[in-house]
Structure 1
Amino acid sequence: MVVQDIRSNVVKLAPQPGQAPAPVASEVKALRRIIAEDPDWSLATVPLLKDIVINHIVDNFEKNPILEKLYPKDKRKVLDKIAAKIDVHVTADLISDELYWKRCCKSKYPICDVTNHGGSWKRLYFEKYLENLIENFVPDKTSDDVITSAIPLCSNYVKRLKICQLLPPVKETPKPGANEEEVSDAGSEAGSESPDMDHFEFGILLDKLPHLEEFQVTYGVRDCGMNFEWNLFQFTQRDCLLFAKAVKSCTWLKKLCLHRSKVDDSRARVIVSNLLDHPTLAEVDFSQNCIGDKGARGIAKLINNRCPNLVSMNLCDNIIRHEGAKALAYALTKSSTLKSLSLRLNRIGDVGGQSIAKALLTNKVLESINLSCNELTEPTAAIFSQVLIANTSLTTIVLAGNKIGPDGGKQIQEGMDANSTVTRLDLRLADAGQESEFCIEQILKDNQEKSRLKELERLKSAASTYSKRP
C-alpha cells in the first residue's frame, strides 16, 4: 500500500480583493487515502464469515450433517449447495425438501415422471432406489443385507413397487479339465433344460413396507440379448409359493399385478388360495400369462365375494376357454363389488360369451366389460342386445376384433335404442355394418352428454350441501 499525506499539498493563497480570506492550516482536515498495489482488489471480494461457515458445512455434510439448527435462509443455501450423491443413509430422514430430492432424481435417473409417484420427488427417489436394488439382486451371490439395510430408509416413503425384471442365480461353469464325457452324461440325465431356478424372495421385504399399496412384478430378464434362454423367464413352484405368502402377509396392499411371468393354472390357484379374504385388495392383474380354464375357476372365487374389496380383474391375453368363462360368469351373478372385468385376447367363443352376457342380465354392479378378440359372433351379440336393455350399471362394453357381423350389429343397435347409460361401445373390426355403427355412435354421444349433465348436477348438489354446513 502507498499512503500519501495531502496536507503538504495545501497552498495558502493570499486573499484577493473581494474574496473571503483563505482557511488557516488548523482548519484543514487531515485527509489520507490508501492506494492498493493490486488494481483488482476490492473490499467486496472478502467473503462474510457466515458464508465461510456455510461452505464448511457443505464440504463436510456427509461426515457431520448440520441442518436443523440453521436459520431457514441459511438452510436453503446449504440444501442448494450440497451434492446430490451424498449417501442416502445420511439424507433419508434428515432432508424432506422436495427441491433437493428433485435434484437427486434428475442426476440419477434419466426419466422421472413424478405424477406416477403421488407428485413427491422423495417418494420417486426411494421407490426407484429400492426397485433397482431388487432388479439387480442375484440369488446366492448378492447378500440379503443389501435389501435389509435399505428397508429402514425406504419404508416410510414407498407406496408403489414396479419390478420389471428378476435375475436368476448365476450358473456354475464346468471346472477346467473336467471329463467331457461325464459332463455330457450328466446333462443327458438331467434333460435338455437346466434345473429350476429360484428368484428373489419377497418375503423379507413386503411385510416391512407399511405404506405399500401397489405391487407390480415380472419374472423375467430385460435386455438379455444374445444370452437369451427360456430359463431366464421361469416362474418356479417355489417362486410361486414364496410370492403368494409374501403378498398374503402384506394385508394393506390394494393393487397386485403379476404379468408376463408364465403363470399357469396350478400356479394361479396357489396364488388365489392365498388371496382369498384379503382385507384391502382392490385390483388384480394377471394379464399376459398362461392361465386356462382351471385357473379361471380359481380366480372366480375371488370375484365371488371372497375378496371383499375387489373392484377390478384383468385376465387379458391368457388361454381361457368357454369352461373358464362359465365359471367367471357364475361369479358375476354373485359378485357385489367387481366393477371392471377384462377378458381381452382369450378364446372363450360364443359359448363363453353368451354365459357372461346372461350373467350381466342380473349383475347390477359391473361397469366395464372387455371381450375383444374372443371369437364371438352373432349369437353373443343377440344376448348383448338384451343386456343393453336390461342392465343399467354398464358404461363401457368392448367387443372389438370379433365377428359380430351386420345382423349382430343391428341387434346391438336395437339394444342401444333403449339404453341411456352406456357411454362407450367399441365395435372396431367387428364387421357390424357402417349404418349400425353410425347410429350407435349417435346414441353414444347423447348418452355421454346426459352423463356429463348428470355429473354436473351432482357436483352442484354436493357444493350446495357443503356450503350449508355450519
Structure 2
Amino acid sequence: MRRIIAEDPNWSLDIVPSLSNLCLQCLVNKFEEKPIFEELTPTQKDYIQERLSTSLPLHVTANLVSDGVYWKRCCQQRWDLCDVSHYDHSWKRMFFERHLENIIELFIPDVTESSTVVKMVPLCKKYVKRLDISQLLPPIKEPQRGGGEDEDEEEGSDLVIDDEYDIPRVDHFDFGILLDKLTNLEELHLVYRVKQCGMNFEWEMFEMTDRDCESLGKALKSCKTLKLFRLHQSHVNDKKCRLLVKYLLDHPSLTELDFSHNVISDAGARGLGKLLNRTKLETLNVCDNNISGPGAKAVAHALSKNSSLLSLNFHLNRLKDEGGQAICKALLKNTTLRHLHLGGSEVTWHTAVALSKVLVVNNTLKSINLSCNTLGEVGGKALEEAMCHNSSVTECDIRLTDADEQSVSSINQVVWTNQSLEHKKKAQEK
C-alpha cells in the first residue's frame, strides 16, 4: 500500500534532539531515584537545573544541586517578591532562609513536632546566615468545658490550680533546639507577635514570657557565630532584658544589639551598661523605651571606658538633661563612638552646651541627632560656636529644637564643608 505523508515545511534536523540531550532528559525524569549532578559538565548542569521539578524532596536536592537556576525557579514559584540582592545574590540562600523562617513562624508548641525543624538542619545549615522571624505562635488554648453555676463554683478552685501549674513546657518556639546547630548564622531578628489574629487578639500574643526569655538566652549563648541580634516590639521589660544580658556577656562574636520598641527602663539599662564592657558591641539601639537619667548614666559610665562601640541610639527615651549630660561627659573620654542619636529624649540647652564642649575636642563623632528636643536659642548658639572648631561631624540634625535659624544655617554650612573634605579624603585614598 502506498502512503502519502504530508510535507512539513518547518521540519529540519535541528529540531531533532541530540542523543546527549535525550540522556540528560532521562536523568531529569529519574533524578529522585538516581540523582546524578556533580559528574556533569557546567553546560549539562545548567540543562538539568532548567528542567528539574521544583517539587523534588529537599533531602535529594539540598546538598547536591548547586546555587543557580533551579533555586531561582523554586523561589519564584513559591514567593511573589524575590529580591536576591538581600541574600548576597544567592538564590539557594534565599530559599533555605525563607523556608526555615516559614517553618518557625507556623510552629505551634505542643502540636508541631520538633523534628519538623531539626530534620531541616543538615539540609540548610550551610546556607542560612540570617533569620527574620516576624511571627511566633503561642500554644493552642483548649476550650473550657461548659457547665452550670454550681459546677463552676465547685471547680473554681481546681481551675486556679491548673492555671498555676498545668502550663506548657515552652510558651513559644524553643530556639534552643536550633541555634547551636546553625553554624553559619550571623543575624537573628525576632518579634513575638501573631499576625492577622483578628478577633482572637490578646495582649499575651505580643510579648515573650519568662520561659521564652530563659530558653532564648541559652540559645543565644550557644550560637557562637551570631553577630546581630534584634528583638523588638515584644514588650521586653527590665527583668527579661537583664536575663538576656546575662547570657550575652562575653559573647565571642556579637557586634550589634537592637532592643528597640520595648519597655526597658533604668534597671535594664544598667544591665546593658555592663554588657558594653563584656562584649565587642559596635552598635547598641534602645530606641523607644522607658530609659531615664539613671539608666543613661549607667550606660555613659560604661561608654567612658569602652573602646568598641561605634553607634548609640537613645531615640525616644526620657533621658532629660541628667542622662544627656552624662552621655556628653563620657564622650570627653571616649574616642571611638561615631554616631549618637538623642532625638526626642527630652533634653534641653544644658545637654547642648555639654555636647558643644565635646565637639571642640572630639574628632571621632560623625553624626549627631538632637531633633525634637527643646534646645532653644542658647543651645543652638552653643552648638554653632563649637562646630566652628570641628572638622569631623558630617551629619547634625537639630530640626524641631527651637534653635535660632541663623545658628541652624551656620551649623549646616560647617556640616557641608566637612562632607566635602570627607569626600576629597576618600577620593585621595582610592
When normalised by structure 1's length, the TM-score is 0.85
Query: In the alignment, which residue of structure 2 is the partner of 1:27?
Result: none
Q: Is this contact kept in 1: 2:136–2:194, CA < 8 A?
A: yes
SS in 1 for 2:185: coil
Q: Which residue in the other structure is 1:294 paired with?
A: 267
- What secondary structure, in the 3-state scheme, does the structure 1 residue paired with 2:284 have? strand
Q: Using the alignment, how far apart are the partners of 2:344 and 2:315 within structure 1?
A: 6
- Alignment correspondent of 1:133: 103
What is the CA distance between 1:394 and its match in structure 2?
Answer: 0.6
Task: Show the counterpart of 1:220.
Answer: 193
Q: Structure 1's 224 and 183: CA in aligned 2 closer, same or farther, altered over 3 A?
A: farther
Indicate which of 269, 272, 278 corresponds to 1:306.
278
Alignment of 1:298-447 (within 5 A): 298-303=271-276, 305-307=277-279, 309-447=280-418
Residue 362 and residue 201 in structure 1: after superposition, are their counterparts in 2 closer, same or farther (change >3 A)? same
Q: Of residues 275, 278, 281 in structure 1, which corresponds to 2:254?
A: 281
Secondary structure at the residue paired with 2:334?
coil
In 2, the alpha carbon distance for the partners of 1:315 and 1:260 equals 11
Whether 1:202 and 2:170 are equivalent positions in the alignment is no
For 1:292 and 1:189, locate their aligned partners in 2 and report how far apart those are by CA, in whole Å.
33
Mapping 1:120-159, distance limit 5 Å: 120-159=90-129
Please, which of 412, 423, 426 is the counterpart of residue 452 of structure 1? 423
Offset at residue 46 of structure 1 (A): 5.2
Q: RMSD between aligned alpha carbons? A: 2.3
Q: What's the secondary structure of 2:304's corresponding residue? A: helix
Q: Which amino acid aligns with 2:114?
A: D
**Deviations 1:313-366 (Å, cap 9, x if unpaired)?**
001010001010111111111111111100000001111111111111121111
Tell me the residue number matched to 1:264.
Answer: 237
C-alpha change, 1:113 and 1:37, in structure 2 (3 Å) is closer
CA distance in 2, matches of 1:51, 1:410: 77
Change (3 A) 1:39 1:170: same
Query: Residues of 1 paired with 2:341 and 2:33: CA distance?
Result: 57
In 1, the alpha carbon distance for the partners of 2:383 and 2:123 equals 56
- Given that 2:228 and 2:254 are in contact with CA atoms closer than 8 Å, whether structure 1 keeps it comes out as yes
Structure 1: state its 5+ residue gaps: 3-34, 460-470
1:66-145 → structure 2 map (5 Å cutoff): 66-145=36-115
- TM-aligned CA distance change 1:39 to 1:374, over 3 Å: same
What letter matches 1:347 in structure 2?
A: R
- Compute the displacement of 1:253 (Å): 1.1
Secondary structure in 2 matching 1:306: coil
Judge conservation of contact 2:207–2:236 (CA < 8 Å) in 1: no
CA distance in 2, matches of 1:354, 1:71: 66
The superposition leaves residues 14-59 of structure 1 with CA deviations (integer Å, 9 ceiling, x where unpaired) of: xxxxxxxxxxxxxxxxxxxxx7434449564654444433333222
Question: Which range moved further: 417-426 or 357-366?
Answer: 357-366
Question: SS of the residue aligned with 1:67?
Answer: coil
1:162 is paired with a residue of what secondary structure? Answer: strand
Deviations 1:220-245 (A, max 9, x none): 11221222111112311111111111
Larger radius of gyration: 1
Question: CA deviation digits over 1:75-132, x for unaligned, max 9?
Answer: 3222111122222111111111322211211111222222222221111111111111
- How far the C-alpha of 1:73 sits from its partner, in A, is 3.1
Q: Could you say what secondary structure the match of 2:23 adopts? A: helix
1:250-283 CA distance string (max 9 Å, x none): 1221111111111111111111111111111111
- Secondary structure in structure 2 of the residue aligned to 1:439: helix
- Counterpart Cα distance in 2 of 1:356 and 1:283: 19
Distance 1:188 1:71, change over 3 A: closer
Give the Cα separation in 1 of the matches to 2:245 and 2:289.
Answer: 16
Distance 1:181 1:64, change over 3 A: farther
Measure, in 1, the Cα distance between the counterparts of 2:65 and 2:284. 39
The structure-2 alpha-carbon separation of the partners of 1:323 and 1:97, relative to structure 1 and needing over 3 Å to count, comes to closer
Q: Compute the TM-score of the two structures, normalised by the length of structure 2.
A: 0.93
Size of the aligned set, in residue pairs, is 424
CA separation in 2, counterparts of 1:52 and 1:296?
Answer: 67
In the other structure, the counterpart of 2:5 is: 37
The answer to whether the Cα contact below 8 Å between 2:49 and 2:68 also exists between their aligned partners in 1 is no
Gaps of 5+ in 2: none
